[in-house]
Structure 1
Amino acid sequence: MTDSSAKTGPLAGIMVIELAGIGPGPYAGQLLADMGADVVVIDRPGGGMPKAVDGRGKRSIVLDLKKAEAVDALLKLVAKADVLIEGLRPGVTERMGVGPEACHAVNPGLIYGRMTGWGQSGPWSHMAGHDINYISMTGVLNAIGKDGQPPFPPLNMVGDFGGGSMFLLTGILAALVERGRTGKGNIVDAAIIDGTHSLMSFVHGMAGLGQWQTKREANMLDGAAPFYRCYMTADGKYMAVGCIESQFFAAMMERLPIDREAFGHQHDMAARAKQHEMLEDVFATKTRDEWEAIFAGTDACVTPVLDYVEAAAHPANAERQAVLQDGRWLHPQIAPRLATQPLATHFEIATKGGNYASILGEAGMTDPEITQLIAAGAVVANKD
């Protein structure tokens, strides 16, 4: 069980209410908990996703928000909270009685964080969607993959977590700073589509300089350049080549058995097909581990392509304790690292509904009141 009084870190003393969901909202809550916030998850009755890595450092209570008593209990928690995170469609929390207006009525200083795909307004705001849909509408998805083939989804890292969680967090932290000056709360409208558009700033900048095309596999960073792509090795694995700068490119070429004159200039567009083929042939002559040994410690920007299990064990990550094996889970270390916050050595994952008594007690509710909530079915009592 996570003890809220034992929390440390730069956000210690900040209470966050997280309405249970999946993806970007819970991940934002994880990062806030990692930084010391007391994150209380309002779970729903019944099944759903089991608690996993994004449940670490949090507490949980199960409230049936279809019942008025549960809504009243949640508003009591809101009255003491600093932040609320919700990832439902626009208007849902208002209909439940816990929208921004209702919450600000009991706590004017609350930061109300809203995580959606399409935003709180706009013609598509009430449509369903997933990461692949949001990034398809921003130009990101169209830029990924091989020319002449369908775009390839980059997991759900770009939309859900890059355009979603990170921008939700930015808004929440900015609003907390603002509240420190004004004493007033705020509403954060974090839309994955908006955040992903923002992530495209570099591409828009390059395009404005005439250095980016809408066509796939036609740009410096999309696999078109021989010096920025992956190559298969003799054992069917891969090396990632990213030597953009001329000095890094030279460092790579020094370690490859390739005739420099035959290869041609790094930025010779007419020679790219030949250069791709030459690099494919040479990387296929050795295993991934052999190539890693050749390029280790150099500025060639050539590295092995690892799966997530290999990545956790690799010395470059292991020596920094970047990923910890803790029970059944591989846990990424707290990031970013602050000089005043020690690295984590253990992560405790919330048990669904396991903290109801302490959470409600801290909200000022007595044991008889909690018993009444349980009897009414507003609270599902799991072991604290």
Structure 2
Amino acid sequence: MTGPLHGVRVIELVGQGPGPYGAMILADLGADVIAVERPEVAARVQRTRLATNPMMRGKRSIALDLKSAGDIATLLELTDRADVFVDPFRPGVCERLGIGPDEVCRRNERMIYGRMTGWGQEGPLAHTAGHDIDYISLSGALHLIGSAGQPPTPPINLLGDFAGGGLVLAMGVASALVERFTSGKGQVIDAAMVDGAAMILGPFFSASTSGFWGERGTNHIDGGAHFYNVYETADHKWISVGAIEPQFYAELIDRLGVAQDALLSADKQNDRALWVAAKVRMAQVFAERTRQQWEEIFEGSDACFAPVLSPSEVASHPHTAARGTVVTINGVVQAQAAPRFSRTAANAGVPCHSGEHSVDDIMSSWS
């Protein structure tokens, strides 16, 4: 046995980012995930090459034509044997195909039917198109991200697609599996990225409305302060500092050799009137040495310092190397599964190609 979800059977209709990511997390946690791909997509795969798509890791994959009555019947037979179904389409699509929650859950009352959308199953925007940037815009999250006096900065598609989407979907599935032990019944999960992003925003709703949180880029942990920021080094690389607490800030300026600097002294840390000038001064200091030199100066310190690594550098850093934070699978670096479990280890599995497996093999293994 490996992974806390070992024995859980998942049918995933392959869609865009958040659905496959959520199903990947389930596979990392030990679930047996069957990714159902369109035949035309599976036919384009170059099977002479090793599979490297992290979204397909630890999964098996079959090709089914959802416009074919025969393939729909096959899919329904699989759902009769499954625990979880992942629907990545807009509201109503699966219903029109004859594989909506009413039909699937009627046939299998223990089914956990996860629906992954941007806007959710209801509401004025439920049937309209969108992407991560739109969902985090409506959630209030995008408004808070960026520099003072500048437009909001899209944080690639981490916040909506992955954190507020796939991760929330996986959390919902795991929660419904736990509840099923008591009730013996499945349920439908409406996982909407706009909701997930808003949930992750958490305390910033009250902080913004109460006046505790100021305009974008002027606060102590959004780039407004000199002690919580990123700075360029002499070799045009970057470092980060997050010395919020006074004892950590004291160590930061001590290691920098600027404890007596009028702008950066410990007693002026939280003087907001000085923050803009203090950022300029700190940038000047960090620009005097290379990133490696600063790493050596701050090694073993509590100054809340870290180098800003590119994804290709993560594997070689002493800390991430010691923890195995990333792994190389089929020649491609990927993040290892998280979190860590003491008995039932999660694991980043080997990816498969779309449509690599046969329906007969899946049916046999799920008999």
Q: TM-score, normalised by structure 1?
A: 0.89
Residue 343 of structure 1 deviates from its aligned partner by 6.4
Pairing of 1:245-284 with structure 2 (within 5 A): 245-260=245-260, 262-263=262-263, 264=265, 265-284=268-287
Matched, 1:216 2:220: no
Q: Name the structure 1 match of 2:117.
A: 116
CA distance in 2 between counterparts of 1:135 and 1:120 reads 17
Residue 256 of structure 1 deviates from its aligned partner by 1.1
Greater displacement, 266-275 / 280-289: 266-275
- What whole-Å deviation, never above 9, does each CA across 1:238-267 have from its counterpart, x for those lacking one? 110101111111110111122535124100
Pairing of 1:181-220 with structure 2 (within 5 A): 181-207=182-208, 210-213=211-214, 215-220=215-220
Q: Name the structure 1 match of 2:244.
A: 244
Residue 208 of structure 1 deviates from its aligned partner by 5.2
- What whole-Å deviation, never above 9, does each CA across 1:254-293 have from its counterpart, x for those lacking one? 1112253512410011111221111011000000111011
Q: Name the structure 2 match of 1:39.
A: 33
Q: Name the structure 2 match of 1:380.
A: none
Q: Name the structure 1 match of 2:168.
A: 167
Q: Name the structure 1 match of 2:9.
A: 15
The answer to whether the 8 Å contact 1:76/1:363 transfers is no
Alignment CA distance shift 1:298-1:209 (3 Å): farther
Amino acid at match of 1:138: S
Matched, 1:353 2:355: yes
Greater displacement, 109-118 / 145-154: 145-154
- What whole-Å deviation, never above 9, does each CA across 1:42-78 have from its counterpart, x for those lacking one? 1111137966011011011100010111111001000
Amino acid at match of 1:182: S
Larger relative contact order (Cα-Cα within 8 Å, sequence gap ≥ 6): 2
Amino acid at match of 2:362: I
Amino acid at match of 1:253: I
- SS of match in other structure, 2:203: helix
The answer to whether the 8 Å contact 1:257/1:282 transfers is no
CA distance in 2 between counterparts of 1:27 and 1:253 reads 41
Amino acid at match of 2:172: G
The answer to whether the 8 Å contact 1:66/1:96 transfers is yes
Greater displacement, 252-261 / 289-298: 252-261
Pairing of 1:82-97 with structure 2 (within 5 A): 82-97=83-98
The answer to whether the 8 Å contact 1:19/1:86 transfers is yes
CA distance in 2 between counterparts of 1:343 and 1:30 reads 11
Residue 299 of structure 1 deviates from its aligned partner by 0.6
Residue 207 of structure 1 deviates from its aligned partner by 3.0
Amino acid at match of 1:147: A
| Uncovered stretches (5+) of structure 2, i.e. residues with no partner | 46-50
Pairing of 1:328-367 with structure 2 (within 5 A): 328-342=331-345, 344=347, 347-356=349-358, 357-362=360-365
CA distance in 2 between counterparts of 1:333 and 1:244 reads 30
Q: Name the structure 1 match of 2:48.
A: none
The answer to whether the 8 Å contact 2:110/2:180 transfers is yes
- What whole-Å deviation, never above 9, does each CA across 1:132-179 have from its counterpart, x for those lacking one? 111111221121122232222111111111111121112111111111
The answer to whether the 8 Å contact 1:17/1:81 transfers is yes
The answer to whether the 8 Å contact 1:108/1:185 transfers is yes
Q: Name the structure 2 match of 1:30.
A: 24
Amino acid at match of 1:181: T
Residue 202 of structure 1 deviates from its aligned partner by 2.1
The answer to whether the 8 Å contact 2:224/2:276 transfers is no
CA distance in 1 between counterparts of 2:308 and 2:66 reads 46
Matched, 1:307 2:298: no
Sequence identity, in percent?
Answer: 45
Greater displacement, 165-174 / 316-325: 165-174
Residue 342 of structure 1 deviates from its aligned partner by 4.0
- SS of match in other structure, 1:112: strand
CA distance in 2 between counterparts of 1:116 and 1:94 reads 15
CA distance in 2 between counterparts of 1:204 and 1:116 reads 23
CA distance in 1 between counterparts of 2:259 and 2:28 reads 51
Amino acid at match of 1:100: P
- SS of match in other structure, 1:137: helix
Amino acid at match of 1:243: A
Pairing of 1:74-85 with structure 2 (within 5 A): 74-85=75-86
CA distance in 2 between counterparts of 1:336 and 1:177 reads 18
CA distance in 2 between counterparts of 1:64 and 1:305 reads 45
Q: Say how many residue pairs are matched.
A: 356
- SS of match in other structure, 1:33: helix
Q: Name the structure 2 match of 1:285.
A: 288
CA distance in 2 between counterparts of 1:181 and 1:341 reads 22
Residue 205 of structure 1 deviates from its aligned partner by 3.5
Q: Name the structure 2 match of 1:145.
A: 146
Matched, 1:67 2:58: no
The answer to whether the 8 Å contact 1:141/1:153 transfers is yes
Residue 201 of structure 1 deviates from its aligned partner by 1.1
- What whole-Å deviation, never above 9, does each CA across 1:102-143 have from its counterpart, x for those lacking one? 101210110000000000000000111111111111221121
